[in-house]
Amino acid sequence: MKRAALYLRVSTVDQHPETQGLELRRFAQERGYEIVQEYVDHGVSGTKVRRPALDQLLGDAHRRRFDAVLVWSCDRLARSTKHFLQVLDELNESGIQFLSQRETIDTEGPLGRAIVVIISAIAELERSLIVERVRAGMRRAKLEGRRIGRTPLDVDRKQVVCDRLTGLSLTKVAKKHGVSRATVCRLVNESNAAKLVT
């Protein structure tokens, strides 16, 4: 039985990697793999080349602790074609097979490796087009005089700081001014920082 490692990644802390994990475990069982290790990067962007779990996976791949790496989707492994191909090269040099469940990709043969390159390049192009569309929309909104980003905080900052420093609780100050407790803390910290500068 071939030994498999699962790699799971979610970008934000409110997402849960177990969604990928459940499907990958079933996928591994269907393919006849024994799962020997699960590597999870939780709350880590795919644009980051260095990731704790991915780094550990690549180190263990060099030590031949498993025969294959299974991912739910190629974009879980890397967001750029360059990084994706670097990871695949490292796995390939160690004789490790790569399988993606969603794209039904298996790098065991040359056709599988070619398909991986094509899909990765298309995904990167799609992301670039989305970024360009967003930037174009922001430029248009700016030309039309629309505000981009958050609306400015409409609150008497000095009074918020004064109320907090006179001993009112965070909750009472926040309710009085109609802002969050975090905003009260931020305004007090900004006020303290300004005093240190002057």
Domain final position from 85, 101, 125: 125
Tell me whether residue 101 is in a domain: yes
97-126 pLDDT, tens digit each: 999 888 777 777 677 777 767 777 777 788
Are residues 182 and 118 both part of a single domain? Answer: no
Q: Return the SS3 of 23.
A: helix
Count of domains in the chain?
2
* Within-domain flag for 109: yes
Asked if residue 142 is part of any domain, the answer here is no
φ and ψ of 51, to 5 deg: -140, 135
From 71, 104, 125, the end of a domain falls on: 125
Answer yes or no: do 107 and 55 share one domain.
yes
Please check the confidence at residue 138 and state whether its pLDDT lies above 60.
Answer: yes
12 or 54: which leads in pLDDT: 54
Question: Is 37 part of any domain?
Answer: yes
Tokens of 106: 């298996």
Question: What was the pLDDT predicted at 197?
Answer: 57
Q: Are 28 and 110 contained in the same domain?
A: yes
**Exposed, middle or buried: residue 32 (CB in 10 Å: 0-12, 13-18, 19+)?**
exposed
Higher pLDDT, 178 or 6: 6
- Active-site pick, 11, 80, 94, 191: 11
* Domain ranges, residue 65: 2-125
53 and 115 inside one domain: yes
* Claim to verify: residue 112 and residue 188 sit in the same structural domain: no
Residue 40 domain flag = yes
28 shares a domain with 101: yes
d(C-alpha 54, C-alpha 23), whole Å = 19
For residue range 14-25, what is the model confidence (pLDDT) as tens digits?
788 888 999 999
Residue 45 falls in the annotated catalytic set: no
> Which of 80, 10, 91 shows the shortest CA–CA distance to 47?
80
Q: Are 65 and 3 in contact (CB under 8 A)?
A: yes
Asked if 176 and 116 sit in the same domain, the reply is no
User: How much is the pTM?
Assistant: 0.58
Q: What is the pLDDT of residue 198?
A: 55
* Token pair belonging to 124: 């990167």
> Domain for residue 14, yes or no?
yes
Q: DSSP class of residue 196?
A: H
Q: Are 163 and 119 members of one domain? A: no
- Domain assignment present for residue 139? The answer is no
Instruction: Choose the final residue of a domain: 81, 104, 125.
Output: 125
Q: Is 32 domain-assigned?
A: yes
